[in-house]
Amino acid sequence: MGLETASRARRLGSFQLADFPKPTGREEQWRFTPIADLARLCDPDLAADVAVEVAGPPGPGVSVEQVGLDHPAIGLAPAPGDRLAAAAWAASRTATLVTLAGTDPAAITQVSLVGGDGSWTPLPSAAHVAIRARRDARGIVLLRHTGLARLAEGVEITVEEGADVTVVAVHDWAAGAVHAASHRARLLKDARLRHVVVSLGGALTRVTPHIELAGEGAQVEALGINVTDSGQHHEAQLFIDHQGRSCVSRATYKGALLGPSARSVWVGDVLIRSRAEGTDTYEENRNLVLSKGARADSVPNLEIETGRIEGAGHASATGRFDEEQLFYLQARGIPAELARSLVVHAFFAELIGRIGSDEIEAALRAAVDAKLDQRRRPLP
């Protein structure tokens, strides 16, 4: 693998499907991915076999509408960066456009992408969601993914000057679901984004957040959680592109691997372009392995084109919940499953506490609980 292809600065972005050959699995950005399971989602003839539901009437200053991809508010974020993202774009006929112009930072707009109930085989599908935070807007968008689906999804996020918003994507798919999500965000001057990716369900999820700090003084906090059990592959490939001066990025992704064939991948690319003077960036990935055989790949990567920065760092660590820890907790009367739950909750507590919405934090704690509870039930 040469420097040319490994460099994020030189990697292609395009809305044209033909610009991206079908991946073979040998390319740098595909080498961790079970590509065969995603092959069908690389084609442009995808259906729309996933229902998009909006919870309740939008709050003050918020609108949710179905629009064509030629709508002026669509396509403002960075272009697709891989074949799956380009296929999702090429195959989508309409987009769900969420426009935030409200002032309540706690107001939640929930959009659900709902797959089948398992009584039919889901068609390979595409969907496009656009979130546009207007100047100085506040608010939270919660994207929920449930049911059984095979989905290539594009999520574009534009955060205009002075806006400060949170986008939370929860992947709580039914067992067997296959999902590739390309999140592409562009932040203008002094914009702030808290971007949260939560992967709990499905057989395979691959989320590729691409966050472009375009305007001076923009700030992003990128948070990720995965709770991965046997038979699941949860992958996140994060790309933070520092373009504007004096931008700040903080990325914290944490994963817990429960079962012996659990598999997670985290790639964190941070690019500081030559004009991004005064950049301050830090990214970290922590994994907690609760079972022998589970595997977590973690690849942080910093690419720096200017020396005039405030700070740049990264950290990656994988820890084990081992037999001795389990023995210690059990020796105090705590049953094994509760001991695991205690350790997993402790592992995620601080990260979940950073989301800044009591409602979403409580829902996430409950979702992690539910995921751990699944293990207590005997397998059918």
Of 156, 95, 144, 141, nearest to 115 by C-alpha is 144
Dist. CA 40–CA 84, nearest whole Å: 10
Backbone angles phi, psi at 171, to 5 degrees: -105, 95
Least gap, CB of 345 to other proteins (angstroms): 8
Nearest residue (CB) to other proteins, 32 versus 347: 347
Stretch that binds other proteins, among 99-107, 165-173, 307-315, 334-342 (CB under 8 A): 334-342
For position 342 contacting other proteins by CB under 8 A, the verdict is yes
For position 329 contacting other proteins by CB under 8 A, the verdict is yes
Please tell me the number of Cα atoms within 13 Å of 331 on its side-chain side.
6
Among 70, 332, 358, 378, binds other proteins (CB under 8 A): 332
Least gap, CB of 325 to other proteins (angstroms): 5
For position 315 contacting other proteins by CB under 8 A, the verdict is no
Stretch that binds other proteins, among 77-85, 303-311, 321-329, 368-376 (CB under 8 A): 321-329
* DSSP bridge partners of 112: 53, 144
Stretch that binds other proteins, among 137-145, 203-211, 235-243, 342-350 (CB under 8 A): 342-350
Reading the block at residue 248, the tokens are 């700040």
Element of type H or E holding 101:
none
Nearest residue (CB) to other proteins, 15 versus 328: 328
Dist. CA 30–CA 47, nearest whole Å: 24
Nearest residue (CB) to other proteins, 29 versus 287: 287
- Only one residue has tokens 């700030």, namely 219
Least gap, CB of 33 to other proteins (angstroms): 30
Dist. CA 380–CA 366, nearest whole Å: 23
Nearest residue (CB) to other proteins, 346 versus 362: 346
For position 3 contacting other proteins by CB under 8 A, the verdict is no
Backbone angles phi, psi at 277, to 5 degrees: -70, 150
Angle at alpha carbon of residue 308, lines to 307 and 313, rounded to 5°: 65
Nearest residue (CB) to other proteins, 332 versus 377: 332
Length of the chain: 380
Interface residue list for other proteins (CB under 8 A): 319, 323-325, 327-336, 338, 342-343, 346-347, 349
